[in-house]
Amino acid sequence: MEHGSNFINFIGTVAGAFTTVSFLPQVIRVWKTRSTRDLSLVMFLLFVAGLILWLIYGVLVHSWPVIIANCVTLVLALIILTFKLIYK
Instruction: Report which of 10, 28, 17, 24 is spatially closest to residue 70, judged by C-alpha positions.
Output: 17
Q: What is the pLDDT of residue 73?
A: 93
Mean pLDDT for all residues in the chain: 89
Annotated domain spans of the chain: 2-86
Domain 2-86 has CATH 1.20.1280.290: yes
Q: What is the pLDDT of residue 2?
A: 64
Dump pLDDT digits (tens) for 32-60: 998 888 888 899 899 999 999 999 999 99
pLDDT-based confidence at 3, cuts 50/70/90? low
CA distance 71 to 48: 11
